[in-house]
Amino acid sequence: MEKLPRLGRATLDVLGVLLEAQRPRWGLELMSVTGRPSGTVYPLLDRLEKAGWVESCWEQDAERRGPRRRLYALTPDGAQAAREAVRAAAARPARRRTTIARGAEAMG
């Protein structure tokens, strides 16, 4: 797994949502929860996957109508790195309340 050179707010928001997730999430769902546009979320997911933080697969639910969705989940190493990054970001002073802070609270 590669260390990411910079973890901006959008990255931390996506990582926070993935940390809270009890199941893999798809891109549109991540956009909805974080409030980030597709032009931010999808390139971010691609970078996280190339760095080994996230893995993805195509949805296999043949019963669901509509196009297949690409599902994203943190790898074990990615989850550990994400926890550390989200905690560090939440501990910074004057941090506005975002998905990052909620993710840190959910981890305890």
Give the sign of the dihedral formed by CA 84, CA 90, CA 95, CA 99: positive
Mean pLDDT for 8-30 is 95
- Phi then psi for residue 54, to 5 deg, are -130, 145
Task: Reply yes or no on whether the pLDDT at 97 is more than 90.
Answer: no
Task: Reply yes or no on whether the pLDDT at 91 is more than 90.
Answer: no
* Whole-number pLDDT of residue 60: 87
Q: Is residue 97 part of a domain?
A: yes
Distance of alpha carbon 80 from its chain centroid, rounded? 13
pTM of the model: 0.81
What proportion of the chain, given as a percentage, has pLDDT over 90? 68
Domain enclosing residue 90, as ranges: 9-101
Q: Is residue 54 part of a domain?
A: yes
| Tokens (6 digits) for 84 | 């550390």
Q: Is residue 29 part of a domain?
A: yes
The total of structural domains in the chain comes to 1
User: Per residue in 38-82, pLDDT tens?
Assistant: 999 999 999 999 999 999 999 988 788 888 899 999 999 999 999
Residue 20 pLDDT class (50, 70, 90 cuts): very high
Q: Is residue 2 part of a domain?
A: no
